Structure 1
Amino acid sequence: MTAQVRHLAAVPADQAARAGWDVPVPVGTNTASPPPFPLDVLPGWARDMVEGVATFTQTDTAMGAGVFLSVLSTCGARRLVVEGKPGWREPVNSYVATVAAPGERKSPVHGALVRPLYQAQQQMADQVRPLIEQEAARRDIAQRAAEQARASAAKADADKRDAATAEALAAVMAVEEITVPTLPRLICDDHTPEALVSMMAANGGRMAVISDEGGIFDTLAGRYSGTPNLDPYLKGYSGGHLSTDRQTRAGETIEDPALTVGVMTQPAALRKFGSNAELFGRGLPARFWFILPRSLAGYRDQDSPSVPVSVAARYESTVRILATTLAEWDGPRVLTLTDEASRVRAAAAETIEEQLRPGGALHDVREWANKLFGAMLRLAGLLHLAHYPTDAWERQISGETMSQAAQVTAWLIAHYTAALALVHGDPAGETAHDVLAVLVTKDMRTFTRRELHRRVQRKLPRAEQVMTVLATLAQHGWVRTTAEGDYELHPDAPDYVTSAAPNGR
């Protein structure tokens, strides 16, 4: 949903009747802003950072919260799985797409919260670099010896050729036994699906695509190949068997891959992604948690305080240690639920199930909502990891944490509904909504077409565009023509259009 300065509130019928107007019909899809992120679900070290970054950048905390969930997913992917009940285990890696218009300060938020992952990646690289150099030197020496052995075998006399050949083969095998480690990676940016599989294979089957841009959506739509290869993203979400065949070298195979996706994108990219029939048909958009932060443009404090040094230091240290600690593990640990957590999960799941029935709130978005049962477990695992970053794997998930996961799940439902409205919304209605906000903001109770055109000339440069919008507003009951041929704004419009400026973050 595009960021709007104002949104339409409920229209009291009695007010309209007193003025002699019909009750107007809301225009556009931005009839309500998605709710703010429930910060209380986060532990202090994370909550303070998300709030501090939001204050400094003057952005909605939902933006930073979305990035933070991706950071946790990067740390825990393929290292932790949540057992909802015997026979059902859910990985904790997640796909998050934060949607905001240009100029909404996505990059500063992203940079502040993702920075410790790059620090951890650099720290791991520094530790393994001497071993890489050592093994690379050993392999080079062994390759030279093998080449000499092959040359000697080729020139050997007949009576010595068998022995020389055996020696050459042994030398070649010695080269193959030397493995040169690659520099460890936690994060990559915009890569082709084939390159992504290679990176995952080189990093123990896991990788995080985290970016403050939405280029991944173009890649998935087939920017490079013309036909999108969705396997890394489909199988990287739920695990399974992932392989790729190459003509020039051996194919790569990954068992139970774990991919994290955390991107920040613009509304136009979301519309393209969400309306792609092939992506939708194969279920990729249904794997994403879409987050639509409120726009604070026009209400931002230009002298906002920086993130306290102690808050940033604590956050960076916690994430860095968490990322490096879990990166050293070979396999996943299973997080189980306490009895209370199991009861909370079952009750929340039952509520979701009821909403999936015909006529229910989630019936029309079943392709996405059917994954909420697993999403709630993933959220529980991520929040559990946040609350116990030093020993989460030695504890059970509590009822309180599961309640928090259910709360965030409800929050995600509201944001997905807003994202769906953005993807399938009526552009003409959105434009009319913006113009109505201008009329109210500028207190244009009566006006001519030309006066309105001067106000919205950048958005609607042609006169016929203004006429089209005025016709839409008239059809919806927001404006009407006067006897003199001018236009009159609904007298109660200022009451119907309420400010979207937040009361705190």
Structure 2
Amino acid sequence: MTAQVRHLAAVPVDQAAQGGWDIPVPVGSTSAAPPPFPLDVLPGWARDMVDAVATFTQTDPSMGAGVLLSTLSTVGARRLVVEGKPGWREPINTYVATVAAPGERKTPVHGAITRPLFQAQRQMADAIAPLVEQEAARRDIAQRVAEQARATAAKAEGDRRDAAVAEALAAVMAAEEIAVPTKPRLIIDDHTPEALVSRMAENGGRIAVISDEGGIFDTLAGRYSGNVNLDPYLKGYSGGHLSSDRQTRAGETIEDPALTVGVMTQPSALRKFGSNPELFGRGLPARFWFIMPRSLAGYRDQDSPPVPVEVEARYESTVRTLATTLADWDGPRVLTLTEEASRVRAAAAATIEEQLRPGGALSDMREWANKLFGAMLRLAGLLHLAHHPTDAWNRQISDQTMSQAAQVTGWLISHYQAAVALVHGDPAGETAHEVLAVLVAKQMTTFTRRELHRRVQRKLPRGEQVLAVLATLAQHGWVRTTAGGDYELHPAASTYINGTPNGR
């Protein structure tokens, strides 16, 4: 497994030397749009759905694959754990944030992949509804009896007082013993940290924050309070003891909580989240898998075929069955590795460890990369569940599945690198790169400032903004002025731009 670090497309020397041009310096982000998700690691029922949704919505398959990982995490969290080796067990819940600009069709992708989770949630709620109504009625009657007994005891005198008090106490205790079950929930959307803990406590220690918006990042940035409680997100990932102080009943402690986060957000929210020093210092961004799908805008087929009915039906049935089956379990089942899978895991882990050394491919992102050992096991558990949706808990994880998990881990690395480049990138350089792409697309090999301004007026409405971008491009060697005061474009610009994904 390699870190998949991208090297910018080199500018051919002979092309750069034409007309006395020097070799230019890249502008904007130095990381490429990462590769699409390797769909061949998925079984047919999942692969066909992700592929069909990507085709219909004309989006990068990575977008749907990220949502699929969150979906599998939702059904398997706190139900399955992976034993990497004796003494080390890893839960399979995940934190996934898919990052794409407005208009990139995040909502239809998210809706198609997560729909069976909501179906399963409604199915489970409908199944328990009669029992909820029955027990609620029993408790209401018992509470009324208790109130009457308390009133009688309060009025009793003499020899009857002790007996009446005993009857009242018994009636109160009988009412308290009637527990009205809560309707099971797999998913919540907008929430405070306190509400999140309450929902987890009500649902056996697990819940999923599933949303096609990035509201969780606003919450973590302190939308509800200036000092946000991060414990539910920190402990919800790794387990431990999580206390819940409720207004309606005594505080509870959740043993080994399992939180799943599967959200979609915009680049601006990622920049805000990733550059927050408090969140970074507490290690929260290091728990996320950031998915950076490529934009296909400008190249989309507006008459793409819909998701085949049989593909959708098979996918939704599989996820619903998984969700309802595992929901009935009380405790987690332990997934172990075959001997061959253990060797694959050890070899991949050794590669990661080597890349963490000073100067290694992962040394600059140690906070996040140190969690790759566990991430690889979580991926193995999710892929194992996908490949064996009817009996994964009765099988060991194979070497093939472990190899697939290592492959996806490499994919995650490339996406994290793109996320880091977005968070810490130079906005001026990004703008210059976009303008350079316009020059190439419009074949403006020679142009005036005013001609360029007409092309980019919406993005750069003021003339001084255009001059600033031209100065940046000139400093990097991509444009130069002519004797007549016009501008010339570097002859290698088209090679540089067209050799980068997303028109980059």
Q: TM-score if structure 1 supplies the norm length? A: 0.97
Aligned to 1:14: 14
1:96 counterpart SS class: strand
Q: Offset at 1:214?
A: 0.4
| Structure 1: gaps of 5 or more residues | 1-6
8 Å CA contact 1:210, 1:262 repeated in 2: yes
Deviations 1:321-358 (A, max 9, x none): 00000000000000000000000000000000000000
2:185 counterpart SS class: coil
Q: Offset at 1:31?
A: 4.4
CA distance in 2, matches of 1:310, 1:331: 34
RMSD: 1.3
Q: Offset at 1:19?
A: 2.9
1:22 counterpart SS class: coil
Is 1:122 aligned with 2:128?
Answer: no
Amino acid paired to 1:237: Y
Q: Offset at 1:244?
A: 2.7
Is 1:152 aligned with 2:152?
Answer: yes
Aligned to 1:69: 69
8 Å CA contact 2:15, 2:491 repeated in 1: no
Instruction: Report the more deviating stretch, 490-499 or 36-45.
Output: 490-499
CA distance in 2, matches of 1:277, 1:18: 47
Aligned to 2:245: 245
1:207 counterpart SS class: strand
CA distance in 1, matches of 2:217, 2:39: 29
Aligned to 1:410: 410
Aligned to 1:198: 198
8 Å CA contact 2:96, 2:291 repeated in 1: yes
1:98 counterpart SS class: strand
Alignment of 1:92-491 (within 5 A): 92-246=92-246, 249-491=249-491
Amino acid paired to 1:196: L
Q: Offset at 1:252?
A: 2.8
Deviations 1:146-191 (A, max 9, x none): 0000000000012111111011000000011100001110001010
8 Å CA contact 2:188, 2:210 repeated in 1: yes
CA distance in 2, matches of 1:323, 1:483: 70
CA distance in 1, matches of 2:256, 2:426: 41
8 Å CA contact 1:8, 1:497 repeated in 2: no
Following superposition, which runs of at least 4 residues in structure 1 exceed 3 angstroms of deviation?
A: 246-249, 499-503
Aligned to 1:3: none
CA distance in 1, matches of 2:348, 2:437: 39
CA distance in 2, matches of 1:290, 1:115: 22
Q: Offset at 1:10?
A: 1.9
Q: Offset at 1:246?
A: 4.2
CA distance in 2, matches of 1:145, 1:244: 31
Amino acid paired to 1:385: L
Q: Offset at 1:499?
A: 5.7
CA distance in 1, matches of 2:220, 2:33: 29
Deviations 1:191-220 (A, max 9, x none): 011001000000000000010000100001
8 Å CA contact 1:8, 1:498 repeated in 2: no
CA distance in 2, matches of 1:466, 1:502: 23
CA distance in 2, matches of 1:210, 1:319: 15
Q: TM-score if structure 2 supplies the norm length? A: 0.97
Deviations 1:85-128 (A, max 9, x none): 00000000000000000000000000000000000000000110
Is 1:80 aligned with 2:84?
Answer: no
Distance 1:502 1:225, change over 3 A: closer
Deviations 1:277-316 (A, max 9, x none): 0000000000000000000000000000000000000000
8 Å CA contact 1:9, 1:498 repeated in 2: no
CA distance in 2, matches of 1:21, 1:488: 11
CA distance in 1, matches of 2:449, 2:248: 66
Aligned to 2:38: 38
Instruction: Report the more deviating stretch, 13-22 or 178-187.
Output: 13-22
| Structure 2: gaps of 5 or more residues | 1-6
Q: Offset at 1:417?
A: 0.3
Aligned to 1:4: none
Distance 1:246 1:118, change over 3 A: closer
2:264 counterpart SS class: strand
Amino acid paired to 1:96: V
Deviations 1:238-270 (A, max 9, x none): 100001334664223211000000000000000
CA distance in 1, matches of 2:41, 2:349: 19
CA distance in 1, matches of 2:164, 2:342: 67
CA distance in 2, matches of 1:225, 1:248: 21
Q: Offset at 1:501?
A: 6.4
CA distance in 2, matches of 1:496, 1:31: 13
8 Å CA contact 2:338, 2:397 repeated in 1: yes
Distance 1:261 1:45, change over 3 A: same
Amino acid paired to 1:370: N
CA distance in 2, matches of 1:112, 1:246: 35
Amino acid paired to 1:81: V
Aligned length: 497
Instruction: Report the more deviating stretch, 346-355 or 485-494.
Output: 485-494
